Amino acid sequence: MELNYSKLFYFVRTDIVVIDHNSEMADMSNPDGAIHGDADYIVAETPTGRRFAHDITAITRSNGHTESKVSSLRLEELAFHLNETKPDLDMTHWEEIDPCYGSEAFISQDTEKNNRLREIQEGVDCGEIPFAEGFNLSLHVVAPL
């Protein structure tokens, strides 16, 4: 499927990540002494919900100290600039990630997965595909409406 670059929307996404461990900070709620931070990166989204994440990430510790060469503010500025200029994506720096929840891309992804699982179950049921005894894929398959 060809991307229409003029319709891409760019934004900064933040994930909470473990960036370090310190055993002196361990307690009941954090037994490993994990130190958390934010990982910010730019995401490009199509009107149908397909998403692509850029490979540059800004890591910020929970105390506000920036761990990377690029800041979150710089990424926000970059996302704004990308929305204004609408450049083509150099796919060597972008990786497709999970689509937007509830979007057309999300729904079609689920449909394709369920169709494939249904095909496997049919193959198992008719004996064309050998499968471990007692394993039932139908628990994972959504029945057609």
Distance separating alpha carbons of residues 13 and 72, to the nearest angstrom: 10
Q: Which two tokens stand for residue 9?
A: 């929307």
For 1-42, write each residue's pLDDT tens digit: 567 777 899 999 999 888 888 999 889 998 999 888 889 999
pLDDT digits (tens, 9 = 90+) for 88-137: 888 899 999 888 988 888 888 766 777 777 788 777 777 777 665 545 55
CB-count burial class (<10 Å; 0-12, 13-18, 19+) for 3: middle
For β-strands 34-45 and 51-61, DSSP reports them as antiparallel
Give me the phi and psi of 90, to 5 degrees please.
-85, 100
Give the 3-state secondary structure of residue 82. Answer: helix
